[in-house]
Amino acid sequence: MAVAQVRRTLRALIVVAVACATTATVLIGGPRAESAVLAPASARHSDTSKSSPPGPFALVLVIDAARYDQMDLSRMPNLATVVAGGTQYANAWVGQLPSITETSHATIGTGMLPSHHLILGDTWRVPGKDQMSPDLLSGTLDRTGYIGKFIHATGSPSLASMVHAKYPGSIVVSISGHKVYAADAMGAGSADFIAFGMTDKRQHFVPGAIPGHVPAKSILDSPQLDLTSYPRTHGLEDGWTTTLAEKFLFKYHPRLMMVNFPEVDVAGHVVGTNADVMQPLFANIDRQLARLIAAYGRAGMLSRTYIIITSDHAMVPGVHNVSSIQIQNVITGAGGQILYQGHGDYTPIWLKNPTSIPRVAAALSAANVPNVDAVYARGPTGAYTLISSATRLAHAAVTQSYADLLGSFTSAEAPDIVLFYDENTITMTPNFLKIGRKGDHGGGTWGSQHIPLIVKGPNIKQDYTSQYPARLVDIAPTVETLLGIQPQRQDGVPLADAMTNPPLWAVESQGKQTERLSADVESLRLEAVSRPNVR
């Protein structure tokens, strides 16, 4: 009990310490103050690099909210060329909860599961308190570097810091369009430069950067990156992001560059998976990929660069809806006091009165809410138990898949109750109903979990399709291994089967995961194509 109490206290202190550091940075006046908190590697680098250092290099591209089945190679010739020259994972999946941007990018940037890096969504419970953490969708908060500092404070390893350790003086860049929370999470507090798009006082869309991780003025003041308004026309923001990446490439020749393309996610929430909207966006992504490959060629780095293309989560169309009000009424009717009720293609619930968890979970099970296929409750030890009947599920084996997903974020901060949904089902709040929301993600359905993952570069198998159920947590140790870095104390494993000459230890590490993860993926896939017999 004493150990658990200490852990809760330390985690609560992380929130307070990071918030205090963030406030101090803002009050004291920016980059110089923040560098005293984290001493980012950017303080050690000149911004006048003219030629590329010896390889190898890595480029990680995250197409926000891209589904595996939306990557139509017949309409994406440049991606098809990358696939033909590399290895793709047909069963790649997020492999954790929640399946959302901040959490997934933190996992990509650390190789750790949410239970360790503790970015558990847009918000989560502050341990030991009836209080939720700051909202990570707050642009004002995010632009202070809160997420990166939070990850750093948990002691999680970061891909950026491990690159720096192996290659002293090398540059790591993490960028996005408007999604500062994606760039900051991938940088994990250790990337040299963390940049994104923001609206300035003139209402122009221009580059911004996290204090202490600010690039050269020539990038921030580039006329090519100064748009007269936020780029609402489809394709413009992803194109802007590519231009930003090119600026960093030619200025710094980064050892590692990580890029988030935000537009597929933005559109998906509005239109779901509507092909008339989504296919042109993917065609545009294909053009941006061609631009980046050409840029790496001009920089003389392409032959020495590993390219990893993936998504942070997929997108579920709202064919069916679960009413947030109905769930709320069941909770309060059973005596539960709601601290926070989430949404997506699942519902995470935090209660102010944890003693009511068994009663509320039983009431949610008995309510038999349409398209809610499983109700899980967290017990005194932190583990989750299935409360609803397994007969609601088409395949009983999916309970193990759900248990493994729940285990990925089990911690003092995790939800008290989790509702899993049928496929193609999203939470409908009054506001979502008003704006006509058509798509969402966050949960454990195969539709939100199944993502693309492609690896290309020197010593990578060509024109090879792997059936291994690769996860986001495997990306960091894979990049590390390809760059000649020994992964350390991370939850993921290197994707050795993509390598032509993998180290034996990497083959063995991957092999130990295959059976369990394959069973998880198969159960989720089967559940997705079947309807429960009992509803």
- Reference 474, options 510, 499, 500, 507; nearest CA is 510
203: left (phi over 0), alpha (psi -120 to 50) or beta: left
Q: In the prediction, which pLDDT does 51 show? A: 73
Q: How far apart are CA 452 and CA 198, in angstroms?
A: 28
- pLDDT tens for the chain, residues 1 to 535: 443 444 454 455 455 555 555 543 332 222 222 222 233 343 334 433 457 789 999 999 999 999 999 999 999 999 999 999 999 999 999 999 999 999 999 999 999 999 999 999 999 999 989 999 999 999 899 999 999 999 999 999 999 999 999 999 999 999 999 999 999 999 999 999 999 999 999 999 999 999 999 999 999 999 999 999 999 999 999 999 999 999 999 999 999 999 999 999 999 999 999 999 999 999 999 999 999 999 999 999 999 999 999 999 999 999 999 999 999 999 999 999 999 999 999 999 999 999 999 999 999 999 999 999 999 999 999 999 999 999 999 999 999 999 999 999 999 999 999 999 999 999 999 999 999 999 999 999 999 999 999 999 999 999 999 999 999 999 999 999 999 999 999 999 999 999 999 999 999 999 999 999 999 999 999 999 985 433 3
Q: What are phi and psi of 435, to 5 degrees?
A: -90, -5
Q: In the prediction, which pLDDT does 12 show? A: 53
Q: How far apart are CA 115 and CA 409, in angstroms?
A: 4
Q: Tokens in use for 477?
A: 């140790």
Is 0.85 surpassed by the pTM of this model? yes
User: Residue 258 contacts by C-beta under 8 Å, 6 or more apart in sequence?
Assistant: 59, 60, 62, 108, 109, 172, 173, 174, 175, 183, 186, 187, 191
Strand 464-466 versus strand 172-176 pairing type: unpaired
